[in-house]
Structure 1
Amino acid sequence: MNREILSILLQLVDRRRVAIICALAMVGALTEGLGFILLVPLLALLVGSADDADDSLLSPVTSFFEELGWQPTLAGLLAIFLALVAVRSLADYIRVVLSMRQSIAIVDALRARALDALLNAEWRFLSRMRQSENRALLLAEIDRTATAVDQFAALTRIAIGLGVIFLAALAIAPPVALGGVILGGIVFYLYRGLRRRARKTGEQLSAHWRRVYGLLEENLDALRSIKSFGKEDYASDRILRAFVALREVRMRFTADNALARALLQTGAAVIAALLIWLALVPWGLSPITILPLAALSARALPQVSGLLETWHTWAHSAPAVLAADSLIRDAEAASETGAGTPPLSPLLTKALQFRDVSLSHRKGIATLQDIDLDLRAGEMVALVGPSGAGKSTLADIAGGLIAPDSGQVLVDDVRLDGDMRRAWRRRVAYVDQAPSLFDGTVRENLLWALPEADDATLRNVLQRAAASFVLDLPGGIDCPLGEGGRQLSGGERQRVVLARALLKKPSLLILDEATSALDSVSEAAVAEAISDLAGQQTILIIGHRGALTDLAPRTVTIDAGRIVADSRDRQE
């Protein structure tokens, strides 16, 4: 699994920037290592004699300076030491800034890719997804992916630092360096059980986040029903139990992390003490050599501890990389064919035709079967039938949202396939039973359909949609509507949405259960607005029997995915 995750992350990162970050980490680690090596001659000068120093290290250092024509002095060595510290600090600063930019860039790119994949996926794929899955992807999983990226970068940096510390220790005392690597490898091997637990906890966390988002969405959308049934305690209990389960997973990770830290600190201290004892007693190293080794140990201990803790967090965050990548790839696999600007579609001056159209939403269960239907240009047709009969699915096919499994859909004898289906959607306007308004002004919501429309055009379309009440609102067409248009009643929202649809000047206007949630007064107002459009454009009305469907001169009845009656047949 780690190989697959690394492959995904390597596709996300800017490799040039990563190379610079790694180079800066190397510079920081090398300057630190050189500083530790420089401690040996520095301590020898402080003591005033090199007799106690390890000649195998001191001689090469002094020889190097002599070749440069410089006799080491205390002031000179201190100046070099401070310069190394300054270079390391500068390299670390630049590395941290670049790493943060890299992390932010990855999150932004991944979110953009996820949004692009979702927005360009086929409607059949999107309609099967829960919105909570989309929210979990765009928020929790991508944020955890960013954490995984940060941890991977930290692992790389710490590994480079430990590598340089090992080389410095190898230069000072090879037996101590090799002994530290062997003992550290043993500790890392014993740590594998906690790594597996962290990975499992990370997978559980992804599942619990999706559960929490799902419960929050369905309960917040059903607040009116919850209150009317007196189920506040029940809803609260379900949500809180999901949060408790999420909390337990996070607590388990925190406890495992704390246990790992305690074990690592203890193990590292034991290793350091053992190595110092071996260096002093059996191997007989000089105190001047031991002091830099002790400093290296003090630097290496938190690095080793940080390496394993970071690995633990990485194992916990890594499953989010797979989860996010899987959802994005599924959406990309369901992408609509074609790219770039769609071609110009027919204007619907003749007819919209269905020829032997069939579709199955689920394997083996037909939603529509052998549909043959003609909608003439300028005709108003009501499509009626029981719930689940396939009315909305037929409307989605008519509007170009869904491609049929078999058969043909034609507009003015042009087949709606691929790019042409996408182009046709631009000539279609929907008004459904759940009007979608954005948190903005009336003007901003209307201009979504036609950005270049002027005030006169907006007033005209509001009047045609029986929505002139907007002009009497505080601010008129610049009145803020609030989230989802909550400042308006249901009927008012529906008429504003109808005005937006008309502003698009669609070739086909689809009204899908557009008045099913309205009272009789609001329904009558919308029906009056629709009746004024008769003969001006092609209108497909979806619904049960009611004021809106009664407006249509022609009624098509659908049941169990088949057309069972067409009033035109009786008229002809």
Structure 2
Amino acid sequence: MIRTLLSNAYQCLGWRMILLFLLLLLSGVFEGLGLTMLFPLLAKFGMGDSTGAGGPLAAIQSILNFFHVPDQFGVLLVITIGLMYLQVMFTFAKGWMETECQTRYTNYWQRNLFDHFIDAGWAFFTGERAANRVNAIMVDSGRISAAFYVVVQIATCTVFILVYALISLFSSWKMVLFLSGFGAAIYASVRPLSRKTRRIGEEVTTVSEDLQHRTTEFMHNAKLIKATATEPMAVRLFAQAAERFRRIYLAAGIMPKLIVAIYMLCGYTILGVGLWLAVVHFKVNPAAVVVAIYIFLRLYMQLTNLQQFRQGFLLSAPALPAAMRQLDHARSLRETMNNGKALPEGPAGIVLDRVSVNYGPTQALDEVSLEVAAGEMAGITGPSGAGKSTLVDVMVGLVKKEKGSIEIDGTPIEEISLRDWRRSIGYVGQETLLLNGTVAENLTWGNDVARSIVEEAAKTANAHDFIMDLPNGYDTEIGDRGARLSGGQRQRLGLARALVGGKRLLILDEATSALDAESEHQILKALERLRGKVTILMVAHRLATLSLADTILLFDKGRIVESGSWAELTEQKGLFDRLRQLQSTSL
């Protein structure tokens, strides 16, 4: 897992990652050099001497003599402080680069996931909960970055442990052997806890996804919940998800602390026993004992940190395979944009010839043939599950047909540029996506569009007048999801945005189903103004909405069962007329 993580991180960070580990190594080296200088400093106070073969003071003194360093307290002190200064500087540089790498790695995963998700085909979005994708981008990317941070900390601890172990070995190999045996025993004793930590880490992703799902569901449907007084139900279900989240993170937080406590208790025991053996049995000189105590405290702190970081890695690392699975799934369903023929200007003409679409065993469209002439206003209606939405999806290219042919302006859809085709389409759904920004920002979506073009589209959509009545006109902030606007105003903004840029096909997918009569009238007036200038496809359950259509197509069970103008379908006295009468009676 660590190898996979580092390989992936290197793809993102490159030379920054190499520099980070170089700074880490230099920080450890200068930490060790600073500590070794304590031996000759303590000797100046009469603690220990440099006699005796293999003595640490003799070895250090010979190195100092080689570099012609005077054996004076002031000189030795300056060198020691200088080495420690360098260690602090390298540690700070490491921390800086560490933060730089971590933030870049988080950003890399967030953008990588979002880019591949948004480039995936429609099947990717309909195949699983949206909360899973949101959790991958918002939570798992941070956990992956945290796992990388923890690996860096593990490497830091490892370097410092090696430095301290070498100095300790230089001072007293018997003490090092004793500490190593004791440390190995402690490590073996906490292995079962480490395995449990890994299992908890794997559960964190699932629990986070569930909480994201509940939060998204209830926040997006707050009006329904409040209007039906079902707040207790929402509170209860959210509380259950939040409690599972609390419990798993409680376990995730306690496990590293438990292991740290075990290490600390064992450490105090080792310190006491080790000192007793060093002084009584091994006859270690006083300077070595003082340095050994200092090194032991630093060493044991690093060992404790190493275990704590290891537990942190076990908790965070499972996010990497989870995110990679999401990424691989998105890549496998990546949408292919044809680099085909350029599209002509003007309203689009669309022809379907015996088109069929299946969703597994369900046939959504069954050999559908139709023609929507350039500039025509066509209405699509039928009961739920009749195939209306699938018809729109296959025309746009979101869903692939099983058989049959689709032609845009006489050219098969496979031979045109799918991206250019979609850019020429204006789409208005039942709910208009509005960002927390100004009216102008929502009409242009960040594109560089002249204000005159924006205002012309707003006028066509019957939105200009109400926009100018807002406090700051087109520069008025409309709140989260357009909360400061009425439903009709939001839909007219959606229509205006769909018209910006000279569209060839305008799709209204149940765009007026949730509007009152006056708001719907404003939308229909705008569509009447657009007649002949753009091809219009209106999908609606409410038949009165389609009264302006040149042609109405009635779908049932994936087929066109009736077609014609409003007058022609009414005169046929078929299913359309019966539905019209039922809706008129209900009104």
Classify 1:356/1:181 alpha carbon distance in 2 versus 1 (closer, same or farther; 3 Å). Answer: farther
Q: State the match for 1:380 in structure 2.
A: 377
Classify 1:568/1:38 alpha carbon distance in 2 versus 1 (closer, same or farther; 3 Å). Answer: same
Letter in 2 for 1:281: V
Shift of 1:419: 7.0
1:445 equivalenced with 2:442 (yes/no):
yes
Q: How does 1:90-101 map to 2 (within 5 A)?
A: 90-101=89-100
Shift of 1:224: 2.2
Query: Distance between the aligned counterparts of 1:398 and 1:64, measured in 2?
Result: 81
Q: State the match for 1:254 in structure 2.
A: 253
Is the Cα contact below 8 Å between 2:341 and 2:415 reproduced in 1? no
- What secondary structure sits across from 1:356 in the alignment? strand
Shift of 1:490: 1.0
Shift of 1:35: 2.4
Task: Select the residue among 476, 481, 490 that pairs with 1:479.
Answer: 476
Is the Cα contact below 8 Å between 1:449 and 1:503 reproduced in 2? no
Shift of 1:535: 2.0
Q: Which runs of 5+ in 1 are unaligned?
A: none
Deviates more, 1:200-209 or 1:221-230: 221-230
Q: State the match for 1:131 in structure 2.
A: 130
Classify 1:476/1:502 alpha carbon distance in 2 versus 1 (closer, same or farther; 3 Å). Answer: same
Classify 1:234/1:537 alpha carbon distance in 2 versus 1 (closer, same or farther; 3 Å). Answer: same
Query: Distance between the aligned counterparts of 1:314 and 1:545, measured in 2?
Result: 56
Deviates more, 1:277-286 or 1:506-515: 277-286
Is the Cα contact below 8 Å between 2:10 and 2:17 reproduced in 1? no
Task: Select the residue among 511, 514, 520 that pairs with 2:511.
Answer: 514
Query: Distance between the aligned counterparts of 1:418 and 1:285, measured in 2?
Result: 85
- What secondary structure sits across from 2:210 in the alignment? helix
- What secondary structure sits across from 2:101 in the alignment? helix
Any runs of at least 4 consecutive aligned residues in structure 1 with deviations exceeding 6 A, and if so which? 51-54, 568-571
Task: Select the residue among 457, 461, 465 that pairs with 1:465.
Answer: 461
Query: Distance between the aligned counterparts of 2:155 and 2:50, measured in 1?
Result: 40
Q: What is the number of equivalent residue pairs in this alignment?
A: 567
Letter in 1 for 2:394: I
Once the two structures are superposed, residues 220-262 of structure 1 have per-residue CA deviations (whole angstroms, 9 ceiling, x without a partner) of: 2222222232211121111112111111111112222221111
Query: Distance between the aligned counterparts of 1:157 and 1:26, measured in 2?
Result: 8
Shift of 1:357: 2.2
Once the two structures are superposed, residues 471-503 of structure 1 have per-residue CA deviations (whole angstroms, 9 ceiling, x without a partner) of: 233222333222222222111211221122222
Query: Distance between the aligned counterparts of 1:40 and 1:563, measured in 2?
Result: 93
Once the two structures are superposed, residues 498-544 of structure 1 have per-residue CA deviations (whole angstroms, 9 ceiling, x without a partner) of: 12222232111111111100111211221122122222221111112
- What secondary structure sits across from 1:558 in the alignment? strand
Task: Select the residue among 492, 495, 499 that pairs with 2:496.
Answer: 499
- What secondary structure sits across from 2:435 in the alignment? coil
Classify 1:492/1:133 alpha carbon distance in 2 versus 1 (closer, same or farther; 3 Å). Answer: same
1:427 equivalenced with 2:424 (yes/no):
yes
Is the Cα contact below 8 Å between 2:348 and 2:534 reproduced in 1? no
Query: Distance between the aligned counterparts of 2:341 and 2:177, measured in 1?
Result: 69
Q: Which runs of 5+ in 2 are unaligned?
A: 570-587
Is the Cα contact below 8 Å between 1:450 and 1:503 reproduced in 2? no
Once the two structures are superposed, residues 341-399 of structure 1 have per-residue CA deviations (whole angstroms, 9 ceiling, x without a partner) of: 987334466731223322233x2222222222221111111111111111012112212
Letter in 1 for 2:213: G
Letter in 1 for 2:526: A
Classify 1:453/1:129 alpha carbon distance in 2 versus 1 (closer, same or farther; 3 Å). Answer: farther
Deviates more, 1:470-479 or 1:491-500: 470-479
Classify 1:26/1:281 alpha carbon distance in 2 versus 1 (closer, same or farther; 3 Å). Answer: same
Query: Distance between the aligned counterparts of 2:199 and 2:415, measured in 1?
Result: 42
Q: State the match for 1:26 in structure 2.
A: 25
Letter in 2 for 1:21: L
1:35 equivalenced with 2:31 (yes/no):
no
Deviates more, 1:417-426 or 1:47-56: 47-56
Classify 1:298/1:567 alpha carbon distance in 2 versus 1 (closer, same or farther; 3 Å). Answer: same
Deviates more, 1:518-527 or 1:224-233: 224-233
Once the two structures are superposed, residues 24-81 of structure 1 have per-residue CA deviations (whole angstroms, 9 ceiling, x without a partner) of: 2222212222222222222222107727777532222222222333441222221111
Q: How does 1:182-201 map to 2 (within 5 A)?
A: 182-201=181-200
Is the Cα contact below 8 Å between 1:54 and 1:289 reproduced in 2? no
TM-score, normalized by length of structure 2? Answer: 0.91
Shift of 1:407: 3.2
Classify 1:34/1:338 alpha carbon distance in 2 versus 1 (closer, same or farther; 3 Å). Answer: same
- What secondary structure sits across from 2:511 in the alignment? coil
